[in-house]
Amino acid sequence: MRAAAMIAGGAALVTLGVGVGLSVSKAPVPSRTDAKPFEPPPDTAIPDNEFGKAVKLGREIFTDTRRAVPQFVGNDLSCSNCHLDAGRRPNASPLWAAYGLYPQYRAKNGHVNSFAERLQECFRYSMNGRMPPAGDRTLVALESYATFLARGASIGVMLPGQGFLKLPKAARAPDYERGRAVYAENCAQCHGEDGGGLKVDGKTAIPPLWGGRSFNWGAGMARTPNAAGFIKANMPQDRPGALTSQQAWDVAAYIDGKPRPQDPRYAGSVEATRRQFHEGGQSAYGTTVDGVLLGGDGPPETTGLK
Ligand code: HEC
Ligand code: HEC
């Protein structure tokens, strides 16, 4: 099932023209966006030694996260469901492009973050889980895998293909109702009418987009611009690039207008959490969409964790 659905979208990316409005605080030197992406070494180049063992463990954690480290994962996602091709694919936030950009100041938490801390946050938000403690073998393994993929890449520059596609604003404001139609036609057959994805033999074959088993309100993908860029470049998985930019924005607004696990930074009420973390129009958190107050279900639960 999964293998059948895995269709590379590389070709479609080239023609999209990555937006030049690369976000400000991020990296020192924006690179040319039309240049050929860096090619990470193949898995066959993983050395046969202790370091190589850590690299392999990191790859396993990245691609089968819940099974490999259930103690840190509260949903049904793996890192590679968003960082495609096991963290190799350009414009799907590849690890080889991320590695050399840290330590880096992040407005999200207001201080300079090491690469390890950046990884910890993915567990807290994208995986709706618990952060591995500093120095934990999970972090060391993921860092080793990223270092391996980045071998030979320039450090301290924003490499072509870094991050997700930055989609220029669409002509019309993103719209939930138009997004509903885009979703029904292009996404529901895989991700399900209810956005819950598909499991085969207890394993995630198609990841959930919303609901209790998906990423939480603090995750990068819960921000409409990130989702729109990801979707435009990579979805539908069997026909990447098939949606217009307007359709990608609309379906991103649809997904972002659905309930998902509480923001772990919950500040005592939906209003306070919205004010502190969701102003600026990038997320629908704290607004009522389709009759549901998004984020209105009280403090975070951690029941998904083992
Ligand atoms: C639901 C999709 C999703 C999942 C699952 C996910 N991520 Fe991410 N990740 C993102 C998004 C979106 C961003 C960009 C966030 C932003 O810029 O606000 C990101 C950013 C990152 C970055 C920084 C990239 C850069 O160039 O600075 C790293 C590193 C990373 N993720 C690693 C991981 C790891 C490790 C896991 C699994 C433990 C993971 N991610 C799971 C969506 C995801
Ligand atoms: C052919 C099946 C298929 C179709 C159609 C499809 N997807 Fe996906 N989608 C997948 C698979 C499989 C993954 C995980 C990719 C991986 O692990 O390599 C995924 C991942 C995602 C993710 C990131 C992971 C997550 O759970 O958030 C988003 C967002 C997403 N799809 C949105 C969409 C949208 C929006 C559409 C419709 C425009 C769509 N998909 C159509 C199969 C599909």
The residue type found at 233 is: A
Least Cα distance to 242 among 254, 251, 233, 229 occurs for 233
Q: What is the pLDDT of residues 280-294, one digit of tens each?
A: 879 999 999 999 999
Mean pLDDT of the 151-178 span: 95
For 134, the 3-state DSSP assignment is: coil
State if residue 82 touches ligand 1 by the CB under 6 angstroms criterion: yes
Check residue 140 and give its pLDDT: 98
Q: How far apart are CA 298 and CA 175, in angstroms?
A: 27
**How far does residue 14's CA lie from ligand 1's centre (Å)?**
22
State if residue 251 touches ligand 1 by the CB under 6 angstroms criterion: no
Least Cα distance to 68 among 262, 203, 199 occurs for 203
Check residue 108 and give its pLDDT: 87
The residue type found at 74 is: G
Q: What is the pLDDT of residues 107-159, one digit of tens each?
A: 989 999 999 999 999 999 999 999 999 999 999 999 999 999 999 999 999 99
Which tokens belong to 171? 């002509």
Which tokens belong to 137? 């073998």
**How far does residue 132's CA lie from ligand 2's centre (Å)?**
27
Whose CA is closest to atom 34 on ligand 2?
187
pTM over 0.75: yes
Task: Identify the band that residue 306 occupies on the pLDDT scale cut at 50, 70 and 90.
Answer: low
State if residue 221 touches ligand 1 by the CB under 6 angstroms criterion: yes
Residue 179 has pLDDT above 90, yes or no: yes
Ligand that lies nearest to the alpha carbon of residue 217, given by its number in the listed order? 1
Check residue 132 and give its pLDDT: 98
State if residue 216 touches ligand 1 by the CB under 6 angstroms criterion: no
Domains in the chain, please, with CATH?
Answer: 24-158 (1.10.760.10), 176-293 (1.10.760.10)
**How far does residue 122's CA lie from ligand 1's centre (Å)?**
6
Q: How far apart are CA 113 and CA 194, in angstroms?
A: 36
The residue type found at 195 is: G
